[in-house]
Amino acid sequence: MKEKSIKKVNIGMIGFGYIANGVFELISKQKDYISEKTGRRLDIIRIAEKDREKLKSIPEEMMKNIKSSSDAADVYEDPEVDIVVELIGGVEPAYEFVSKALNSGKYVVTANKDLMANRGEELYKIAEQNDVDILFEASVLGGIPIIGPLKTNLASDTIYKIAGIVNGTTNYILTKMEKSGLAFDEALADAQEMGYAEKANPSADIEGYDAACKIAILSSVAFNSRVVLDDVYKEGITEITADDIEFAREMGYCIKLLAIGTEEDGKISARVHPALIPSEHILASIDDVFNAVYVYGKYIDRIMSYGRGAGDRATAVSVVGDIVNIARNFNRDMKGAIYGCSCFENKVISPIDESMSKFYIVMDVADRPGVLSNIAKIFGDNGVSVSSMIQKQAGVDNMAKLIFITHRSANKNLYGSIEKLKKLDIVEKIRSIIRVEDLD
Active-site annotation, residues: 214
If one counts every other C-beta atom within 10 angstroms of the C-beta of residue 161, the result is: 20
Give the C-alpha separation, 135 to 139, whole Å. 9
Q: What residue type is assigned to position 80 of the chain? A: E
Cβ contact 206:236 at 8 Å: yes
Q: CB neighbours (10 Å) of residue 322? A: 27
For the chain, the 3-state helix, strand and coil shares in percent, each to the nearest 5, are: 40, 30, 35
CA distance 354 to 218: 21
Q: What angle do CA 99, 102, 105 make, to 5 degrees?
A: 150
CA distances from residue 170 to 212, 262, 264 in whole angstroms, order as listed: 13, 22, 29
Kindly state the DSSP code that residue 224 receives in the 8-state scheme: T
Determine the Cα–Cα distance for residues 49 and 55; give it in Å rounded to an integer: 8
| Peptide bond connecting 93 to the previous residue in cis, omega within 30 degrees of 0 | yes
What's at 322, amino acid-wise? D
CA separation for the pair 417, 436 (Å, rounded)? 17
CB atoms within 10 A of CB 398: 8
Tell me the C-alpha to C-alpha distance, in Å, between residue 154 and each of 111, 147, 218, 297, 439.
22, 10, 13, 8, 20
Distance CA 257, CA 408 (A): 19
CA dist 162 → 41, 61, 159, 234, 411 (Å): 36, 46, 8, 16, 20
